Amino acid sequence: MGFVVGLDAGGTSTRAVVLDLDGTRLGAGVAGGANPNSHPPARAAAQIRDALRAALDGLDVRKVQSGVLGMAGSSKLTDPAVATLFEEAWTGAGLRCPMRVVTDSEAAFAAGSASPDGTVVVAGTGSIAAKIVDHRMTRTSGGYGWLLGDEGSAFWMGRSAVRDTLAQLETADPLSALAEAVLGMSLVETTERHRMWSRLITVVNSAPPIGLARYAPLVSAMAADRDPHAQEIVEAAATYLADTAMAARDPEETTPIVLVGSLVGPSSPVGDRLRAMLSARAKAPVRLATEGAAGAAWLAAVDLLGPTAPRPA
């Protein structure tokens, strides 16, 4: 029996899954972020190779018959030089089947639903909503990247937390729990407000912009503890994501909505609010997907077996 392989390459991490044609998981691998828009392309390609090698460890690579790479920033592969780096990573892991590249949105939707049509909302380091028709993305809403948008994403939430902290430091009011957490993570130890303000700006600007996403978990944690500053950011993030999802759908559409990403999991305040908003606004089932790599692997199986390919166990 042959194998299929699927990858989910995002801004923070890359996951690879190997399945047999019955949908049984045979291997898995994890590596760092591989979005070539937020990481140097050579480094991103190396993460693809490392995740594949980990997932294929101990398996007969020659039995892999089909593979799908679901990737944030997949448009970057229209650059021949970048595409060559990723092809070399693919073959460098021992794969000889073609590398079919899809968006992370298509892989995420396939992870949450066997339906060929619907809407997917990806909310991790970045954010985007997409309309899926016959397993392919036909329309998007958002997804402009950290510089131009990604409202409601972990990057956006982290930046909002830092901006809110800076605004609080410009006053004489007591600092919120969120601001204290942001300063603690940033190792800002002085007690003089203007120096704290200056030091926080310096710390944030000395790191890559995408590093702002690391503050997002603080917002979720403080919102769960009912910090009003964090709750306001969570409400705004959920509203942005709900608006983005609805913009990708046709009026009165009833196809499934699949949510995927670190911000919309079962224990996430943003995810809880987003599910409530979408349930009120859309006449459609709202589902949660947790593993885009498995969705990519299932798409690889569909390439071989058609729409009746067994779903991953």
Task: Determine the Cα–Cα distance for residues 28 and 51; give it in Å rounded to an integer.
Answer: 8
CA-nearest of 66, 67, 20, 23 to 48 is 67
Number of domains in the chain: 1
**272 in a structural domain:** no
Whether 201 shows a pLDDT value over 90: the answer reads: yes
pLDDT band, very low/low/confident/very high, at 293 (cuts 50, 70, 90): very high
**259 in a structural domain:** no
**254 in a structural domain:** no
Whether 252 shows a pLDDT value over 90: the answer reads: no
**The domain spanning residue 67 has which CATH number?**
3.30.420.40
Structure tokens at 239: 């509203």
Whether 313 shows a pLDDT value over 80: the answer reads: no
Structure tokens at 312: 């991953």
Whether 143 shows a pLDDT value over 90: the answer reads: no
State residue 188's pLDDT score: 85
Decide: 219 and 231 in contact? Cβ < 8 Å: no
Average pLDDT over residues 253-276: 92
Whether 210 shows a pLDDT value over 90: the answer reads: no
Residue 156 to residues 124, 179, 187, 240, Cα–Cα distance (Å): 10, 16, 21, 11
Decide: 110 and 7 in contact? Cβ < 8 Å: no
**221 in a structural domain:** no
Whether 159 shows a pLDDT value over 80: the answer reads: yes
> Per-residue DSSP letters for 177-201?
HHHHHHHHHTT----SHHHHHHHHH
**122 in a structural domain:** no
Residue 179 to residues 46, 186, 211, 269, Cα–Cα distance (Å): 37, 11, 17, 18
Dihedral (CA of 266, 272, 274, 277) sign:
positive
**36 in a structural domain:** yes
Average pLDDT over residues 244-266: 91
Decide: 122 and 115 in contact? Cβ < 8 Å: no
Residue 136 CB partners (closer than 8 Å, separation 6+):
102, 106
Percentage with pLDDT > 70 across the chain? 100
- Residue that wins the pLDDT comparison between 210 and 85: 85
Whether 46 shows a pLDDT value over 90: the answer reads: yes
Residue 193 to residues 99, 161, 162, Cα–Cα distance (Å): 53, 17, 15
pLDDT band, very low/low/confident/very high, at 76 (cuts 50, 70, 90): confident
State residue 251's pLDDT score: 85
Domain holding 59, by residue range, is: 3-115+290-305
CA-nearest of 32, 72, 68 to 50 is 32
**128 in a structural domain:** no
pLDDT band, very low/low/confident/very high, at 74 (cuts 50, 70, 90): confident
State residue 238's pLDDT score: 97
Task: Determine the Cα–Cα distance for residues 233 and 216; give it in Å rounded to an integer.
Answer: 10
**183 in a structural domain:** no
pLDDT band, very low/low/confident/very high, at 110 (cuts 50, 70, 90): very high
